[in-house]
Amino acid sequence: MEPADRQGTVLTEGLAYMAVLPYILRRVMIVGAHLAIWSCALLAAFVLRFEFVLGPDQRTQLLMAMPMMLAVRFVVTALMGGFHGLWRYTSLHDLLRVVGCTCVASVGFYLAMQWFGPHDFPRSIYLIDCLLAISSVVGLRLSVRMLREISVGLHRNDSGSRMLMIGAGNAAEMFLRDLNINHHGRFHVVGLLDDHPYKRGETLHGVRVLGRIADLTRIVENHTIDEIVLAIPSLGAHEFRALYAKCRATGLPVRTLPSSLRITHGPMTFRELQPVSLEDLLRREPVQLDDVLLRGIFSGARVMVTGAGGSIGSELCRQVMRFSPKRLILVEQAEGALFQIEQELLRSHPSSMLTPAVCNVADTSRLQQVMRDEAPSIVLHAAAHKHVPLMEAHPGEAVKNNLLGTHKLLSCCEAMGVERFVLVSTDKAVNPSSVMGATKRGAELVMQAFAGRSHMNVCAVRFGNVLGSAGSVVPIFQEQIKRGGPVTITDPEMTRYFMTIPEASQLILQAGVLGSGGEIFILDMGEPVRIMDLARDLIELSGFVLGRDIDIKFTGLRPGEKLFEELALDHEDLHATSHLKIMMARKTKINADLIDVSLADLAFAASTGDHDEIRQALARLVPECTWSRARARHVMPAA
């Protein structure tokens, strides 16, 4: 065995032995070490104060002061938690606690000596003793940590995965600290890259900053690198995409720490490291919520979420649970999805009050039963048929669920005394080219009709696509890539707005508490994304090369699809709200009686299954429809 290995083994065994000692024995040893240090510090203070010559008077003062000092320090340190903390992991927080305990104890020692000690006791002793006690305890703790660091260093195995980390800021520091403590030997960070000039050549937890990000290719060529880690969570979308492309050009795997949107509240650890995802490339800014306002609305309330098993509905449930509702009622017609979200919420909130209800919002009698039993005060309506081409083939079902179901739910809510109702809408409701979009625009009109005649605070929240929702483009592309391609795109110029599911759900809650009744809130979706670029990103993120491993095939627009989505109608003047990411469309007065007539026509058409009649009835209700030439003359948005 090499000498270094032998030394490391001895250190490791010694630290391991200390770690497994019985709790009481370790407490006794820690307290004993403190008492010994404090005694030596006071003795040294006397020796220094009297220039290494202690006469009989000084020895008497020392003997009188020693037990009083030890008693005061012991009581103060015990009360302030100074005996706790794992010395081998000593941090700045631990050292500050040592300083605080010692200073408070020194003040207590001074007061005790003033009351019970000799009047001629030298005052300089208190200061010298305090400084020596702090330096001695801090030195001992740091020595134990240093021994552990030496042990880790002697056992470091540089044959593990060799990483090059881009970024030498706070995220990199937390990551390296966790790597050194919990994963040494398995991974080895070869170096860091950072564009700050003053960091060049410096070290962070023993890892050297080798150069700037522009030196990436040269660094990779000159060092044996297995993978690249991106540790700059604050980068915006464009900067991150450019950096990722530069890293991908090296041919090495690329992983990243989460962006500021997905960062955890705790320290950045190795567990946070993950492959680059589509969310990382989009890099939308984190949502800032008015938690005080939301807690005032949802805390202690009985909240019902329809479509609770869907992508948006399930995330709404997770977000609502943050604010401790009195009861959360999960309404969902798909029993499998309902069971999954119920079990998830029970795992994360075991003491929560949940009521799962298998229910179709188009079933009035079942709705009434659920609402009588649960008496919700807030309803978040996310239930909907949303698959555009599928609803083109089944327009009657879209009308029954999206439009008539919303009307029935609003009627039940009004009858049962619900205070607040939030409709989850879509950008496809703007100048709709599809049956699905027309039914969602019709639901908005129904909501606004209720706003004019109901005591409820009702509003709608309109936004675009969410990443990863069931049946959306991203899961479809991922499945096509998994099968080896091709990835099918309707048109190379097609664009869509995207946001993440948590972001959309949080903003729905925020918008839902902003309105006074009848508003349509529109979420800031950022810049539209080309579906072609989205497909290319997903292919590269999956480790394939476009044109070599996976092809893209253009299929043409499907029924009901548009090349470009819009967020607001021409007559909807948008106004800012108190939240930067939420806009409000100008309120529109609705003739509720004419809405009722159109709903009756639609209900009859849906019952017959006549597709042409359904589309004509929809066009009479929603004159903005672009898929029909029909324009209603007797039902307009304004009264």
Report pLDDT for 86: 66
Please check the confidence at residue 183 and state whether its pLDDT lies above 70: no
Strand partners, 471: none
Please check the confidence at residue 80 and state whether its pLDDT lies above 80: yes
Cα R_g (the chain), whole angstroms:
34
Please check the confidence at residue 83 and state whether its pLDDT lies above 70: yes
pLDDT digits (tens, 9 = 90+) for 506-562: 889 988 888 778 889 988 877 778 888 888 888 877 778 888 888 899 888 777 777
User: What single-letter amino acid sits at 587?
Assistant: K
Binned at pLDDT 50, 70 and 90, residue 463 comes out as confident
Report pLDDT for 438: 93
Cα–Cα dist 604/404, whole Å: 11
Instruction: Find, among 345, 261, 284, 303, the residue nearest to 512 by Cα.
Output: 303
Q: Name the average pLDDT for the chain.
A: 81
Q: What is the mean predicted confidence (pLDDT) over 260-277?
A: 53
Report pLDDT for 21: 52
Instruction: Find, among 364, 297, 308, 362, the residue nearest to 331 by Cα.
Output: 308
Binned at pLDDT 50, 70 and 90, residue 7 comes out as very low
Cβ(367)–Cβ(412) below 8 Å: yes
User: What single-letter amino acid sits at 607?
Assistant: S
Cα–Cα dist 9/152, whole Å: 10
pLDDT digits (tens, 9 = 90+) for 354-406: 999 999 999 999 999 999 999 999 999 999 998 888 999 999 999 999 999 99
pLDDT digits (tens, 9 = 90+) for 18-29: 544 566 777 788
Residue 40, SS3 per DSSP: helix
Binned at pLDDT 50, 70 and 90, residue 631 comes out as very low
Question: Where does residue 67 rank: exposed (0-12), middle (13-18), buried (19+ CB within 10 A)?
Answer: exposed
**Percent of the chain whose predicted confidence (pLDDT) is above 70:** 84
Peptide bond into 22 cis (omega under 30): no
Report pLDDT for 336: 93
Q: How many CB atoms lie within 10 A of CB 85?
A: 17
Please check the confidence at residue 574 and state whether its pLDDT lies above 80: no
Please check the confidence at residue 473 and state whether its pLDDT lies above 50: yes
Residues 6+ apart with CB under 8 A from 390: none
User: Helices (H) and strands (E) in the chain — how many of each?
Assistant: 22, 22
Cα–Cα dist 482/498, whole Å: 23
Report pLDDT for 471: 62
Q: In 288-335, where do the E strands start and end?
A: 302-306, 327-332
Report pLDDT for 264: 43
Please check the confidence at residue 187 and state whether its pLDDT lies above 90: no
Cβ(538)–Cβ(477) below 8 Å: yes
Cβ(212)–Cβ(194) below 8 Å: yes
Report pLDDT for 1: 47
Cα–Cα dist 328/366, whole Å: 18
Which CATH number does the domain 161-282 belong to among 3.40.50.720, 3.40.50.150, 1.20.1630.10, 3.30.420.40? 3.40.50.720
Cβ(297)–Cβ(420) below 8 Å: yes
Strand partners, 207: 204
Report pLDDT for 22: 64
Cβ(444)–Cβ(621) below 8 Å: no
Binned at pLDDT 50, 70 and 90, residue 327 comes out as very high
pLDDT digits (tens, 9 = 90+) for 577-609: 878 788 888 777 777 788 888 889 999 999 988
Give the residue range(s) of CATH 3.40.50.720 domains in the chain. 161-282, 291-464+500-525+578-621
Binned at pLDDT 50, 70 and 90, residue 40 comes out as very high
Cα–Cα dist 62/45, whole Å: 10
Q: What is the mean predicted confidence (pLDDT) over 186-205?
A: 82
Assigned fold of 291-464+500-525+578-621: Rossmann fold (3.40.50)
